[in-house]
Copies of this chain bind each other. A is one copy, B any other.
């Protein structure tokens, strides 16, 4: 059975960087948001395929069922369609190979379907603000405080909407790590040790 590492992370905590360091150490491919979106985009999943898949899944089934009361199965909303495509992409990846997946509720999606090590990375706000300025300083004109607030709010809302769990609740993860206090290298080492 493939073994998967899922990494959930606060914005600016370095979760993606730690995932990449871990991937290099363990020789595992790392799939982040962008890469997952890219794969999903090119996967050619048709709406029919997704709807069919969705019917066989609890959450998807519920969506389809609730929608079917209002409209045709084929008129699943754009958000739900995207969610189903990304969800299916994650399930397919987990079936294909051992890997590391960053974000996208992968911990929840794979909870009963794969051998998962679930990680949550967080850090003090001040350290995250500093890091955002140094890493993303050209990308946005918003203040780092506002960017963190918005990004975390969106990640939390996304997670809470698509799962029945709470984002950042330690009970959902094998390990929660403070990347600011421990450093990225040590975080990656701990994940390797546990894997």
Q: Chain A: residues with CB nearer than 8 A to chain B? A: 120, 122, 124, 168, 170-171, 173-178, 181-182, 186, 189-190, 193-194
A-B complex: 4 closest residue pairs judged by Cβ atoms: A176-B176, A170-B176, A174-B178, A170-B170
**26 A-B pairs whose Cβ atoms sit less than 8 Å apart in the complex:** A120-B170, A120-B176, A122-B170, A122-B171, A170-B170, A170-B176, A170-B178, A171-B178, A173-B176, A173-B178, A174-B177, A174-B178, A174-B182, A175-B175, A175-B176, A175-B177, A175-B178, A175-B182, A175-B190, A176-B176, A186-B194, A189-B193, A190-B190, A190-B193, A190-B194, A193-B193
Chain B proximity of A194: nearest CB distance (Å) = 7
Instruction: Please report the C-alpha to C-alpha distance between residue A186 and residue B178 in the assembled complex, in whole angstroms.
Output: 18
Q: Nearest chain-B residue to A170 (Cβ)?
A: B176
In the complex, chain B residues whose CB is within 8 Å of the CB of A171: 122, 124, 178
Instruction: Please report the C-alpha to C-alpha distance between residue A186 and residue B175 in the assembled complex, in whole angstroms.
Output: 11
Q: Nearest chain-B residue to A181 (Cβ)?
A: B174
Looking at the complex, which one of B170, B174, B175 makes contact with A168 (CB distance below 8 Å)? B170
In the complex, chain B residues whose CB is within 8 Å of the CB of A182: 174-175, 194
Instruction: Please report the C-alpha to C-alpha distance between residue A189 and residue B173 in the assembled complex, in whole angstroms.
Output: 18
Known pairs A175-B177, A175-B182, A186-B194. 18 more at Cβ < 8 A?
A120-B176, A122-B170, A122-B171, A168-B170, A170-B170, A170-B176, A171-B178, A173-B176, A173-B178, A174-B178, A174-B182, A175-B176, A175-B178, A175-B190, A176-B176, A182-B194, A189-B193, A193-B193
Instruction: Please report the C-alpha to C-alpha distance between residue A72 and residue B124 in the assembled complex, in whole angstroms.
Output: 41
In the complex, chain B residues whose CB is within 8 Å of the CB of A176: 120, 170, 173, 175-176
Instruction: Please report the C-alpha to C-alpha distance between residue A20 and residue B7 in the assembled complex, in whole angstroms.
Output: 30
